[in-house]
């Protein structure tokens, strides 16, 4: 006889109003909360054998307080919110979802780049201000922009997403080089691997797609930004903490780089005192609120693969 599945989703708000949540609810007894405070974790999980979480921390206190728990289903790739060692000791399975957001992050990478590189904010503001309506000529050349074709596109972190970004950059005619932060991806589809200092010196675009760990924390600081071309763009689609935000604010306002786009920050939501909120050259900085992963298709895939993880654990057809 198959075991009944008692599931609780602790932070359903983090995946939004995705239209296939029934993939989860159809598997058994399902309940969900928009968000869960640390003090409410045990009371909400107790009595369930599956907890579904995106960012809610599942530590040893939670596991000890919820004896029925046998599966932690993480609706994300990163599992740093789960004490993996203690889960293994307790015999609690932990399953995540990898590879669901590759196309979404890749698309957002180039959306961010072209918004900056093509001076989209400036030109949109120019038209909306009414200045174009009284222009004596058909065009306005207030900001220069360059084609990506023929430029050097540097990828930091040549994992699944980094490889896809490299493919798209090549489709635009860019010359891709990369730096592997782990040293494991040194045979990445024929692209030249460079030391970080050389990549920063040569690249017209530096696009970050690596995880945050001891090797990558503050990987890009003031010294690294000073190595970049003044015409180069920096994109961070990996994790906050890889880029020193105070150093980046300095580099933007001192015109040491052409611009920067960030989807991730050292503290999320952004801290009110973050120096990036105080840069003078606002049109050179584009920040989005950690949404690159979250296309409709990516969130659907995230839910469907989470459901598959639960099915596989319980042997459900």
- Residues annotated as part of the active site: 239, 268, 290
Nearby residues of 51 by Cβ (< 8 Å), 6 or more positions away: 7, 8, 10, 45, 58, 66, 69, 71, 72, 73
Long-range own/partner contacts, residues 16-25 (CB < 8 A, 24 or more apart): 16/294, 16/299, 18/296, 18/299, 18/300, 18/302, 18/303, 19/300, 20/300, 20/303, 20/304, 21/303, 23/303, 23/304, 23/306, 23/307, 24/52, 24/303, 24/306, 24/307, 24/310
Give CA separation, 294 vs 47, 57, 116, 209, 266, in Å: 31, 21, 21, 16, 19
Residues 274, 307: Cα–Cα separation, whole Å:
38
How far is the C-alpha of 101 from the C-alpha of 76, rounded, in Å? 9
Q: Are 9 and 30 in contact (CB under 8 A)?
A: yes
Count CA atoms closer than 13 A to 20's CA, side-chain side: 14
Question: In the Cβ-directed half-sphere of 25, how many Cα atoms lie within 13 Å?
Answer: 8
């Amino acid at each position: 006889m198959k075991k009944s599945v008692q599931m609780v989703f602790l932070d359903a708000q983090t995946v939004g109003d995705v239209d296939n949540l029934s993939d989860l609810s159809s598997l058994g007894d399902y309940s969900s909360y928009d968000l869960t405070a640390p003090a409410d974790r045990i009371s909400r999980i107790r009595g369930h054998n599956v907890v579904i979480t995106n960012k809610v921390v599942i530590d040893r206190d939670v596991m000890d307080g919820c004896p029925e728990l046998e599966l932690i289903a993480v609706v994300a790739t990163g599992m740093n919110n789960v004490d993996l060692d203690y889960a293994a000791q307790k015999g609690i399975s932990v399953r995540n979802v990898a590879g669901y957001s590759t196309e979404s992050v890749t698309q957002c990478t180039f959306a961010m780049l072209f918004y900056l590189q093509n001076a989209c904010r400036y030109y949109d503001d120019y038209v909306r201000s009414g200045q174009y309506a009284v222009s004596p000529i058909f065009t306005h050349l207030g900001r220069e922009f360059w084609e990506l074709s023929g430029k050097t596109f540097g990828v930091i972190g040549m994992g699944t997403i980094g490889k896809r970004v490299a493919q798209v950059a090549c489709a635009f005619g860019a010359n891709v080089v990369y730096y592997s932060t782990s040293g494991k991806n040194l045979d990445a589809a024929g692209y030249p691997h460079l030391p970080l200092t050389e990549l920063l010196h040569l690249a017209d675009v530096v696009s970050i797609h690596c995880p945050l760990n001891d090797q990558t924390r503050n990987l890009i600081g003031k010294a690294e930004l000073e190595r970049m071309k003044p015409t180069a763009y920096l994109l961070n689609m990996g994790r906050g903490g890889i880029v020193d935000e105070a150093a980046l604010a300095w580099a933007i306002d001192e015109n040491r780089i052409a611009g920067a786009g960030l989807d991730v920050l050292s503290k999320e939501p952004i801290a009110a005192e973050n120096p990036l909120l105080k840069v003078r050259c606002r049109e050179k900085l584009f920040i989005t609120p950690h949404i690159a992963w979250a296309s409709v298709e990516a969130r659907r895939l995230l839910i469907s693969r989470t459901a598959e993880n639960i099915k596989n654990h319980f042997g459900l057809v």
